Amino acid sequence: MTYLMIDIESDGPIPGDFSMICFGAVVVEPALDRTFYGRLKPISDRFVPEALAISGFTREETLAFDEPKEVMLRFAKWIAEVGGKRPLFIADNNGFDWSFVNWYFHHFTGKNPFGFSSQNLGSLYKGLVKDTFQTFKHLRKTAHTHHPVDDARGNAEALIRMKLEMGLKLSFE
The one catalytic residue among 106, 107, 146, 147: 146
> Is 144 in the active site?
no
Q: What is the 3-state secondary structure of the chain?
A: CEEEEEEEEECCCCECCECEEEEEEEECCCCCCCEEEEEECCCCCCCCHHHHHHHCCCHHHHCCCECHHHHHHHHHHHHHHHCCCCEEEEECCHHHHHHHHHHHHHHHHCCCCCCCCCEEHHHHHHHHHCCCCCCCHHHCCCCCCCCHHHHHHHHHHHHHHHHHHHCCCCCCC
Residues known to be catalytic: 146
